[in-house]
Structure 1
Amino acid sequence: MIRITSRGGDELPSQADIIDEFGLFESGTGCSVQVSDAGRVFCLCRECQRWKAFLDGHHCEGASKGWPQYEVVTRDYIALLAAYIHGLAVHEKSKRPSAGTLRVLELGAGDGRLTHHLAESLRQLQDRDELPNQSSVAAHGKSSPWVDVCACDSGLRGLHKASPVGERVELMDYTKALELHQPHLVICCWQPMGTDWTKEVRATTSVQEYLLIGETDDGICGRPWETWGFSFMCESSSSSDEDEDETDEDVAAKERRTSEKVQSPSSMLRPFQADGFQRVELPTLSAVQICRTDERWSSRRHSRTVSFQRLSSHGDQLMVDQLLA
């Protein structure tokens, strides 16, 4: 049984643990894949049902029943995400030692597990990098955190109640959270389908970057055009979530698309571009992600991490040392 506990990022399962336990990405060894009349691809074999039960929180040691997972949080992913964010703070500290704290806010944090483990990993990275300056720390007392991570959620689904770390999630609307915390960096993990929060994120002047985690473009997170700048009128190659040679397993992804097909010309500025942001793929993080729409019978990973970064008035990416000025 995979062990998912409430304390310490080192107790998260690794990517390899999950893959080995459930036989993911192995083209469905032992599966009996079926296609419904509506085009939904599924398998009801014992191992696939066990994988789905795990995602729903029924086979997680240390978790309450009904503790669903959308993004399967692993040691590998947390380490890479923390390293990415820590790198922003380190760069700033190297240029300006007196720089303030990098404020990170997770919107729609649900049960709070991502922020919980991310904050712990960031603390460990700061402790590691402060070791060469222990004498200074001893003389001036414990240093302030380089990165402060907060989590908020509406609480409407009650996910925080089933989580051992849910009490740390601030229950408030995402617009109020943006106004209250004035974050420099925003994280949205599995933004609800048909909902776009990114317009308000970009309108928050303190925000210099936001990270979207989950299915991209015409997937089941956010809205294709408003969130991702994806237009159904653009060439299919513009979305790296699509395979050039379509197989039966792609039918499931097609079924999840919204029925609204935005008829916007490819020459039109995407919403994030119009607001002065650029989209940057983070393939190193995406390569280790596992999520609830991944299947044992498919080799395809569905969840990715994408950065949207504010540009300066000259069209250049704002440097990190401008974040905390």
Structure 2
Amino acid sequence: MLDTSEIIDLRPRRNKVRPDRPYHFLHERERGPDGGLKEVNTVFLTNSECPFKCVMCDLWKNTLKEPVQPGDIPAQISHALRRLPQARVVKLYNNGNFFDRQAVPPEDYEAIARLLSGYERVVIENHPKLCGTGCLAFRQLLSGRLEIAMGLETIHPGVLPKLNKQITTENFAEAASFLAQNNIDTRAFILLNPPFLTDPAENITWAVKSVEFAFRCGVSACSIIPTRTGNGAMEKLQQEGHYVPPTIAALEQVFEQALRSDGGRVFVDLWDLKRFSECDHCFEERKQRLDQMNRKQQVSPPVQCPQCRQ
């Protein structure tokens, strides 16, 4: 187990980013809670780093060393939305927590809400322990419905405390309940192959259990993220035998089981998927299958590869 100071000491350099520009933005499509396929604009905001130093996190690479100033976040959103097509859903992903005052100044809430007035759903990221009155104040300013994505990561009792996320499953359940009582939707991020869980079969089992727990807490969607290296700490844990990279085959199994559980929408993160591929011959076909399952929310026929025979 690594403490906060060790996690920070193992880091490589940050990327160069600007406080008045998002570090990335894109247009995508996602199945909505009503079953329809929605056009989505996703903006990756540049702001100060999350105060919680999770051992597996690499999102700090695109953060600032100081808080953003009032006006910076609206400027970033405006910059991105002027360059993106029309959409019905907007995601503001921010490498931290939307309701951390150092990341998004509350005095910017009204300006942000005005920029998002044409969207039917607004999705933001936040830590379960930071879900409070700020969520309610921001929700009241929006014309669309608010959805808050929170990292549950895993419900494995021996692993979650070691991630340095500083939450329990009870914290997550309480936050989800608070948001539901206040008419705010939630989604959960679930890790496949978190550090400190190295048995392949157990990783599949606990990822599915974590999805099922999240749905019991009332979340409307779960996003499954294959845990990757790249932040320094994860490389150290891999060298010490505390982390084993997931495979696409394992991701497929978790996705299929989670979809069949029929608890709600389930998505898998396809970013940087190539690093988890064991076969170049079938990679693109497998990626396309996962993308199709993301969009249809149905299990597609498996890929039959003559090379790897998976």
TM range (shorter): 0.3 to 0.5
Larger Rg computed on CA atoms: 1
**Normalising by structure 2, what TM-score?**
0.32
**Normalising by structure 1, what TM-score?**
0.31
Q: Please identify which structure carries the higher strand content.
A: 2
